[in-house]
Amino acid sequence: MIKIPRNERSYQVTKKPTYDELEAMVQQLKAAHEQLSLIMESLPIIPYTRRADGDLAITFMGKSVEVITGYTPGQFMDDPAFWLDHVHPDDRSRVMAELEMLINEGILSREYRLQVADGSYKWMSSFSRVIKDAHGRNDYIVGAVQDISDEKKMKQEADMYMQQVIQADKLASLGEVVAGVAHEINNPNSFITYNIPLLEESWEIFVPIINKYAENHPDSKHGNLSLEELTGEMGEIIQAIKTGSDRINKIVANLKDFARLDESAPSSLVDFNKVINDVLTIVGAQARKSVGRIELELAENLPQFHGHYQKLEQVMANLIMNAAQAVPEKEKGKIIIRTRVNMRLHSIIAEVEDNGRGMAPSETERIFEPFFTTRRSSGGTGLGLSVSYGLVQEHKGRIGVLSRPGLGTKFTVILPIDRRQCRLDLQSTILCVDEDQQTLVLLNSLFARVENLQARSITSTGEVISFLQDHPEVDMVLCDMLTHDVAGWPLLESVKRQFPLLTVFCISDLSEKDHHFAGRDILPDYFLARPLKLEKLAKIIKKIGRLRI
């Protein structure tokens, strides 16, 4: 027997695992790995690793990337530039700066847009961490990416609804101000109204006396007026004062009605064509001082609906005067007022379109805000359109504005025939026209994800005009028909004549220089040659601005 001294360190002899035990451990590790992989692939996230130096190349990419983006993991790992090349151009410089920040700070969260396999962009949220080695040096980067496109869309919708709440709150505050102003106006006007009959009676007494005096003194004058001229004009002046006072009373009553915003207030059947004709009786002469002509295109047999007649008068008066004031040259100025029935929306549609100076996208975004005006220097208060917005909302309707600088502006009022059963949920839309159904499917898929565009499509050029009339939310047309002289150019000319404010994009297999534009008066707003570059299209649309509805 060998004795081990007490002062020597004792060692515990560990029994080596058998082959079967090793095999069991391997199987357990393999099962755990498969279970973890299954969990990672089922989660809506993309795990990845990348180098922490050099080109920061991706060294691992989870299989779930193929479900979310349409690309394989190998495409990201084989080409170090593949990921960055697919980051949205507007986000690339920021993303690169954030990667440098990650290397320095060790942890980072960021959001960016990534182009997926179908050409559209998705919003991605990425969380990354730098892993260090035993010596404290950066070893590699580990992270996870999640598709947050739906969350982004929901946030935008929430922001839109919040703006509507803010708008409603502003209008409620405005109502309180209007009520006070109406009361202050009503007091002095009441004095005028009550004393006009006394003035009329007094004048009837004075007229015979003045006329008799004029007979005895035929050369008598007051200033440059003879006594006969003075008596004639004085009667007209008194009637003008009476008419003006009645007009003030009517305006004050309208302001009080608006301020009250009482849904239970009595309404009556409204003939909207009569509303327009009555409004033109009041403001038509004033509008014609600014524009050369006012054209009416009023639909016959327009169905009546329950509403507040005077409030709708106020809406149309505001829109007509706003159009008149937007026209810089009277001789060339034109206002078109249209009405029609839209059975798809079960609504009455009224349009007020001018060929004035138009508005920039930044202006149309704020045009319905109280106290916002593009005519501050010429006395604009910014109240007319915000009041109109509130009155249309009170009728459960929608009011939209489409404007292009230098071309003009069109306001569209959509009023449900039966507001108890109709909900107007509209969003600015681009119409795609192409004979190839597969091309339309691809375009709709792309537009659904690029800049949150809503897209509709049709294959028949003969249906375009009726589609645009039935869909007032369409503000852009993408046409792939210019290579067909029989259908393409006549379609373009028809659209531009009837809807001059619509933006028309035309795409073709030919380049722009290969098309023969000579002798054509009407051309597309933008010409896009194949292959269609969605980034370019998105930038153009952002610059143009959209229909606000």
Q: What is the CATH number of the domain that holds 52?
A: 3.30.450.20
Residues 386 and 495 in one domain: no
Main-chain dihedrals φ then ψ at residue 221, nearest 5 degrees:
-135, 155
Please classify residue 416 by burial: count the beta carbons closer than 10 Å to its beta carbon, then call 0-12 exposed, 13-18 middle and 19+ buried. buried
Tell whether the model's pLDDT for residue 132 goes beyond 60: yes
My answer on whether omega of the bond before 531 falls inside 30° of 0, hence cis, is yes
User: Given pLDDT bands bounded at 50, 70 and 90, which one contains residue 529?
Assistant: confident
Domain membership flag for residue 249: no
Q: What number is the average pLDDT over the span 389-412?
A: 91
What is the reported pLDDT for 281?
80
Question: Lowest mean pLDDT: which of 272-276, 345-349, 483-487?
Answer: 483-487
Cβ–Cβ < 8 Å for 433, 491: yes
Q: What number is the average pLDDT over the span 170-180?
A: 65
Cβ–Cβ < 8 Å for 403, 364: yes
Query: For residue 447, which of 541, 548, 545, 543 has the smallest C-alpha distance?
Result: 541
State which of 130, 147, 164 marks the end of a domain. 147
Domain count, the chain: 3
Which residue pairs from 96-100 have beta carbons closer than 8 angstroms and sit at least 24 positions apart in sequence? 99/56
DSSP state of 18: P
Q: Average per-residue pLDDT in the chain?
A: 80
Question: Lowest mean pLDDT: which of 42-56, 78-92, 266-280?
Answer: 42-56
What is the reported pLDDT for 467?
92
Tell whether the model's pLDDT for residue 433 goes beyond 70: yes
Residues 279 and 410 in one domain: yes
The H-or-E segment that residue 347 falls in is: strand 347-354
What one-letter code names the amino acid at 186?
N
What one-letter code names the amino acid at 59?
T
Which residue pairs from 147-156 have beta carbons closer than 8 angstroms and sit at least 24 positions apart in sequence? 147/44, 147/68, 147/122, 147/123, 148/111, 148/123, 148/124, 149/122, 149/123, 149/449, 151/123, 152/123, 153/452, 156/452
Question: pLDDT tens digits, residue range 265-282?
Answer: 567 899 999 999 988 887
Residues 369 and 471 in one domain: no
Question: pLDDT tens digits, residue range 364-380?
Answer: 888 887 666 665 554 44
Residues 133 and 48 in one domain: yes
Tell whether the model's pLDDT for residue 10 goes beyond 80: no
DSSP string, 187-242: HHHHHHHHHHHHHHHHHHHHHHHHHHHHHH-TT-EETTEEHHHHHHHHHHHHHHHH
CA distances from 179 to 165, 371, 541 (A): 21, 17, 42
The residue among 193 and 229 whose pLDDT is bigger is 193
Tell whether the model's pLDDT for residue 12 goes beyond 60: no
Give the structural domain span for 296: 262-425
The total of other beta-carbon atoms located within 10 Å of residue 131's CB is 12
Tell me the Ramachandran region of residue 452: left when phi exceeds 0, alpha when psi lies from -120 to 50, beta otherwise: left
Tell whether the model's pLDDT for residue 413 goes beyond 60: yes
Residues 392 and 442 in one domain: no
Cβ–Cβ < 8 Å for 324, 287: yes
**DSSP-derived pairing of the beta strands 454-458 and 408-416:** unpaired
What is the reported pLDDT for 353?
95
Residues 433 and 412 in one domain: no
Domain membership flag for residue 183: no
